[in-house]
Chains A and B, each alone.
Chain A
Amino acid sequence: MEALSLREDNGDKTALAGQNTLQLIAFSIGEQTYGVEITTVREIRAWNGATPLPNTREFVRGVINLRGTIVPIFDLRARFGDGQTSPTKNHVVVVMSVGDKWVGILVDAVSDILTVSRDDIHNVPEGNAIDTELLNGIVTHDSRMVGLIDLHSVVSGAKLDA
């Protein structure tokens, strides 16, 4: 089993989650935990290499074949400016839909499914433009900080300016 599909059980959990709560898929990059809304996640699969794309920024790891369509893979660590991940078989690609496009995000591991209240989402502290650009907000879960990824910003600016 290379891919673990989460789509089936989405429905129930979302139903349980109710109006004011949010379900997140939490994943880690190094020590830090980040999350994306569970409804955007299409699939989680193990890293199995990607074909590099020339003339793109370092955080574009390349493209993979997802059942006949070509999906780009973004290295989240590199996107945050911490250098490229050296992926192993244990690294994970989270495939999500952003607008009408599907993209994969390379992360170290998927850790949990979290249910948080919308009221608990804090604003990202002003100061660093990278933080405010790439994160939508911050929530606390089990006294850990979870950054909510702004997918649109993460996947933008992929092209290398000539």
Chain B
Amino acid sequence: MSDLDDFKATYFDECSELMNELEEQFAAIEAGERDADRLNAVFRAIHSIKGGAGAFGFSGLVGFAHAYETLLDYVRDGRVEMTDDVVSLCIRANDIVADHINAAQTGEQLDADYGMEEKQRFDAIARGQSGQSDDEWSGEIIEEFDIEFTPVRVELAVDKHEPEAAPARAAEPDTFDAPPMPIEPGHWEVRFTPYRQLYARANDPLLLFRELAALGEFNVRALLTDIPALSDFEPFGVYCSWEITLFAPDLTEAAIREVFEFVDGDCSIEIVSLGHAVPPPAIAAPDTPAAAAPKAPQHELMALTEDEVAPTPTVAPAAPSPAPVAEVPKADEPGLSFADLASEIVATAPPRPVPVSAPKPPAAPKPAAQAEGGEDGGNRSVGVQSIRVDLDKVDRVVNMVSELVITQSMLTQQMDENLRARYTELVRGLEVLAQTTRGLQDSVMAIRAQPVKSVFSRMPRLVRELATKTGKKIKLETIGENTEIDKTVIEQLSDPLTHMIRNSADHGIESPEKRKAMGKSEIGTIRLSAEQAGGNILIIVEDDGAGINREKVLQLARDKGLVAADMTPTDEQIDQLIFAPGFSTADAVSDISGRGVGMDVVLSNIKKIGGSVHVRSWTGKGSRMTLRLPLTLAVLDVMLVKVGESPYVLPLSSIVETMQCSGANFERVPSGGQVLQVRGEYVQVIDVAQRFSMHSTKQLDDRFVVLCESEGSQKVALVVDDIIGQQQVVIKSLEENFEQVDGIAGGTILGDGNVALIVDVQGLRATHIHQKAA
């Protein structure tokens, strides 16, 4: 059933948003901000997760979320104090909820007792604080629901009235046992009579009951009196209805109706508040049209409460204007608006009380529901107006805009001095076009941009898990989580970040004893930060652990043949070795990290999206890994150069300066390589033609040097044959139809339809080391 799958997909989307929200709220709560708004937000999130889970029948999740919600509810109204213990229990609970969601999403089965311990702790806390009246109201109630309902009355602890389930009275289908006395507010009786089509549409009353049970104290009773003799039994007939008693202090009718929203029209629901001092019998005479209504399939008869009807009882059977009354029960065709009808009636018979007795317009519960939502969701940010758009649609726009940008830059290139002089208007037009396309591009990119928060917020959980598994004490600090990056970059970021943090936690941070011995704080810190630097985003993972064990790394690299025995790499080069495939320094393979896949995954993932990784390490003090990512994936500002006969492009963001070779100061070093002296600094020189085994026909003096900054502010001088100009290009993948090529970050299509390759500056330096090693 694809519809259901769609709903599920939406639900899981929402869940991940809600989980992010939870992480965020708890980060603040943990930091000491324990105000009601935060609690409410948490409560809302858990409630929404539970609600959806109920609808899809994820019973494990419902059960756990319910117990959690109960605790939160108690915290919210002050019955349970928000101690640190409770907070950490809640944080643990969030993880369990996330696991449940994952399990539901992937269809895997969690152990039946997964989270049971926490659940029991919820119950214990909730029960411990809530006094004696809550005996039957706790997590276990959910389990009871899995058993068949039996029409047995359970005494409600707070009950003062006796809603007797006298079979004799239940035999009168449309009467309600109403309380003879006014009692305290918040008591509701719901009569739920499903129609055949409710089952035909695959609805399950059990789910509804679970929802109701979540609202407050709850008691359900099946009315089995309509069950005919077996001989008259119709296979698809519906013979059972239920009476439900609900109690919760501030329960509203709207909240109850919300539960039945999905089955609207497929059942008859009567809701009577027992908590008001109304004249008791809201009984419709059996022969009035209104009373007959429950049998009319599409119709909902609602017993009206005080809010809607003034002192008048439900339906006035003796209404003096018969015509309108006769209209009322017929008003069950979906197209007919009750409100219209009602106003019509008012117009015809203004002084009568009759009109008010018209069934409540279907629209009415909505505002009420909103009011209710407003009450517990008072601080929902109203200001943000957003729409959900399919990402494909956005991508199409992005692609078109990218192509437009290219075309525009191609047009500009066509303008030579001659044309410029002759067609000044055309030139001006092109300039405006350039500006507009640039603006268009920025706006489209802004649509795709998202704060990195969505990835960062998954990390605290990871760190907690790692801390538990390794027995280390680790604190995670996040900075700059509102930095925005393109959505596709963000999606690609999650795995590398996970690996990097794992690496820091597993290899970087030492055990508490070791840290103490070294005079450090027992608690290790991992700092995760994001910042924008020009056209790049820098994501930095820092830890104050032991740093990279260079001896071990070098030894391993030699053992694995990654570094030749006679080579002595610099410290920095050794550090970068951890990104080599199959490399791991962990003594034992743990289930956290150490299988040697990991850091090379980081590198390849980051390269795939046009970024680069750099690591620096200080022995005994910690290490820092920097991810440099492009702001956007789609369009790149580049410098177009020529090497041999082929065009190459260099990302503009990495270029520091360009100069002619004739004016450059080259020096030789013993290895036979060259270095370039730039303002007192010596920089490694890479002849791109030579590196790419291309034939360069030009004399050295006619060639150009492009000074690039690669990671770690190490500069490198690339020698190219010619500099053609600057332009914007759309990055195309080489791997889509081929494979990754060393020294090449990707390809792009120039205005003339030819392919130009994007030089991977960082990669060029890396291959340099490898080639020496070989």
A residues near B (Cβ < 8 Å) are 49-56, 62-65, 68-72, 101-103, 158-159, 162
B interface, over-half SS? loop
Question: At the interface with chain A, which of B60-68, B255-263, B376-384, B747-755?
Answer: B747-755
Quick check: B741 and A51 within 8 Å, CB to CB? no
Interface flag for B774 (CB, 8 Å) = yes
B737/A68 in contact, CB under 8 A = no
Complex formed: what's the CA distance from A159 to B691 in Å? 15
The reply on B355 being an interface residue by CB < 8 A is no
B756 at the interface (CB under 8 A from A): yes
Whether A70 contacts B646 in the complex (CB less than 8 A), given A54-B691, A63-B755, A162-B767, comes out as no
Question: Are A71 and B737 in contact (CB-based, < 8 A)?
Answer: yes
User: If A51-B756, A54-B691, A54-B694 touch, does A65 touch B749 (CB 8 Å cutoff)?
Assistant: yes
Known contacts being A55-B743, A63-B734, is A162 close to B771, with CB within 8 Å? Answer: yes
- Alpha-carbon gap, A69 to B734, bound state (A): 9
**B732 interface residue per 8 A CB criterion:** yes
Contact across chains for A54 and B692 when beta carbons are under 8 A apart: yes
Q: Closest 10 A-B residue pairs measured CB to CB?
A: A54-B692, A51-B755, A72-B738, A70-B747, A101-B737, A55-B742, A65-B749, A63-B755, A102-B737, A70-B732
Q: Which residue of A lies closest to B689 (CB)?
A: A54
Q: Are B734 and A70 in contact (CB under 8 A)?
A: yes
Q: Are A53 and B741 in contact (CB under 8 A)?
A: yes
Which of B646, B739, B743 lies in contact with A51, CB distance below 8 A? B646
Query: Out of B693, B747, B770, B774, which one reaches A63, CB within 8 Å?
Result: B747
The answer to whether the Cβ of B505 comes within 8 Å of any Cβ in the partner chain is: no
Which residue in B736, B770, B771 is a CB contact (below 8 Å) of A70?
B736
Contacts of B743 on A, CB cut-off 8 Å? Answer: 54-55
Q: Report chain A residues within 8 Å CB of B733.
A: 70
The reply on B757 being an interface residue by CB < 8 A is yes
Q: How far is the CA of A53 from the CA of B759 in the complex (A)?
A: 11
With A51-B757, A53-B757, A55-B743 given, is the CB distance from A70 to B737 under 8 Å? yes
Residues of B within 8 A of A63 (CB): 734, 738, 747, 755, 757
For B757, the chain A residues whose CB sits under 8 A away are 51, 53-54, 63
B451 at the A interface (CB under 8 A):
no
B771 — which chain A residues lie within 8 A by C-beta? 162
Between A and B, 27 residue pairs with Cβ closer than 8 Å are A51-B755, A52-B644, A52-B646, A53-B738, A53-B744, A53-B757, A54-B742, A54-B743, A55-B692, A55-B741, A55-B742, A55-B744, A62-B755, A63-B738, A63-B747, A65-B749, A69-B732, A69-B737, A70-B734, A70-B749, A71-B737, A72-B734, A72-B737, A101-B738, A103-B738, A162-B767, A162-B770
Chain A hits for B734, CB < 8 A: 63, 70, 72
B647 at the interface (CB under 8 A from A): yes
Cross-chain contact B755 with A54 (CB below 8 angstroms) = no
Residue from A49, A54, A68, A71 within 8 A of B741 (CB atoms): A54
| Residue from B737, B747, B754 whose CB has the most chain A CB atoms within 10 Å | B737
State the CA gap A11–B625 with chains docked (Å).
Answer: 55
Q: Which residues on B sit within 8 Å (CB–CB) of A101? A: 736-738
A49 contacts across to B, CB distance below 8 A: 754
- Indicate with 1 or 0, residue by residue over B130-164, a CB within 8 angstroms of chain A CB atoms: 00000000000000000000000000000000000
Which residues of A have CB within 8 Å of B754?
A: 49, 51, 65
Task: Give the residues in chain A near B647, CB-CB below 8 Å.
Answer: 51
**Which residues of B from 720 to 774 have beta carbons under 8 Å from A?**
732-734, 736-739, 741-744, 747, 749, 753-757, 767, 770-771, 774
Please encode chain B, from 235 to 270, with 1 for each CB lying within 8 Å of some chain A CB and 0 for all others. Answer: 000000000000000000000000000000000000
- On chain B, the residues within 8 Å of A71 by CB distance are 737
Q: Which of B693, B739, B747 is the one whose CB lies under 8 Å from A54?
A: B693
Q: For A158, list chain B residues within 8 Å (CB).
A: 738-739
Closest chain A residue to B738 by CB distance? A72
From B691, B694, B732, B774, contact of A52 by CB (8 A): B694
Question: What is the chain B residue whose CB lies nearest that of A103?
Answer: B737
* CB atoms of B749 and A68 under 8 A apart: yes
Residues in A neighbouring B644, C-beta threshold 8 A? 52
* In the bound complex, CA of A51 to CA of B757 (Å): 8
Listed residue (B691, B694, B754) with the most chain A CB atoms within 10 angstroms of its CB: B754
CB distance from A90 to the nearest CB of B (A): 20
Instruction: List, in ascending order, chain B residues with CB within 8 A of A53's CB.
Output: 738, 741, 744, 757
Interface size class of B (residues with CB under 8 A): 20 to 34
Query: In the complex, which residues of chain A have a beta carbon less than 8 angstroms from the beta carbon of B767?
Result: 55, 162
Q: What is the bound-complex CA distance between A135 and B737, given in angstroms?
A: 22
New A-B pairs, 9, CB < 8 Å, besides A53-B744, A72-B734: A50-B755, A51-B647, A53-B738, A53-B741, A54-B743, A55-B767, A69-B736, A102-B737, A103-B738
Contact between B693 and A55, CB atoms less than 8 A apart: yes
Contact residues in A for B646 (Cβ distance below 8 Å) = 51-52
User: Which residues of B have CB within 8 Å of A159?
Assistant: 739, 741-742
User: Are the CB atoms of A70 and B742 closer together than 8 Å?
Assistant: no
Mask, B687-700, CB within 8 Å of A = 1, is 00001111000000
By a CB distance below 8 angstroms, the chain B residues around A55 are: 692-693, 741-744, 767
- Look across to chain A and name the residue whose beta carbon is closest to the beta carbon of B647: A51
Q: How far is the CA of A49 from the CA of B732 in the complex (A)?
A: 19
Residues of B within 8 A of A69 (CB): 732, 736-737
| CB nearest to B752 among chain A residues | A65
Closest to A56 in B: B741
Min CB distance, B400 to chain A, in Å?
A: 12
With A70-B755, A162-B770 known as contacts, the answer to whether A54 contacts B744 (CB < 8 A) is yes
Best-surrounded residue of A54, A56, A62 (most CB of chain B within 10 A): A54
Q: Is B753 touching A65 in the complex (CB atoms < 8 A)?
A: yes
CB-based contact B742/A68 at 8 Å: no
B735 smallest CB distance to A (angstroms): 9
> Would you give the shortest CB distance from A50 to chain B, in whole angstroms?
8
CA distance A9 to B749 in the complex (A): 31
How far is A101 from B739 in the complex, measured between Cα atoms in Å?
A: 10
Distance A56 CA – B744 CA, assembled complex (angstroms): 11
A63 to chain B, nearest CB (A): 5
B519 to chain A, nearest CB (A): 44
A68 — which chain B residues lie within 8 A by C-beta? Answer: 732, 749
Chain B CB within 10 Å, residue with most, of A50, A55, A71, A158: A55
Kindly list chain A residues whose C-beta atoms are within 8 Å of the C-beta of B770.
162
B693 in contact with A162 (CB, 8 Å)? no
Please give me the residue from chain A that is nearest to B755 by CB atom: A51
Q: A162 contacts which chain B residues (CB < 8 A)?
A: 742, 767, 770-771, 774
Q: How far is the CA of A101 from the CA of B738 in the complex (A)?
A: 7
Q: Is the CB of A70 within 8 A of B738?
A: yes
CB of B457, distance to nearest CB on chain A (Å)? 34
**A80→B741 CA distance, assembly (Å):** 22
Mark interface residues in B416-459 (1 if CB within 8 Å of A CB, else 0).
Answer: 00000000000000000000000000000000000000000000
How many angstroms from the CA of A37 to the CA of B518 in the assembled complex?
A: 69
Question: Closest B-chain residue to A104, C-beta based?
Answer: B737
Looking across the interface, which residue of chain A has its beta carbon closest to that of B734? A70
Complex Cα spacing A51 to B767, Å? 21
Most B CB contacts (10 A, CB to CB) among A52, A68, A69, A102 go to: A52
Report A46 CB to chain B, min CB distance, Å: 14
Q: How far is the CB of B413 from chain A (nearest CB, A)?
A: 17
CA distance A65 to B747 in the complex (A): 10
Neighbouring A residues of B738 by C-beta, 8 Å: 53, 63, 70, 72, 101, 103, 158
CB-CB nearest in chain B for A60: B738
Instruction: Tell me the complex Cα distance, A63–B741, Å.
Output: 12
- Nearest B residue to A55 via CB reads B742
Complex interface: chain A residues within 8 A of B749 (CB): 65, 68, 70
- Alpha-carbon separation in the docked complex, A102 to B17 (Å): 38
Who on chain B is nearest to A155 by CB?
B738
Task: With CB as the reference atom, state the residue of chain B lying closest to A66.
Answer: B737
- The docked-state distance in angstroms from the alpha carbon of A103 to that of B737 is 7
A-chain residues with CB within 8 Å of residue B732 when the two chains form the complex: 68-70
Q: Which chain B residues border A54 with CB–CB below 8 Å?
A: 691-694, 741-744, 757
B313 to chain A, nearest CB (A): 71
> Cβ of B774: which chain A residues have Cβ within 8 Å of it?
162
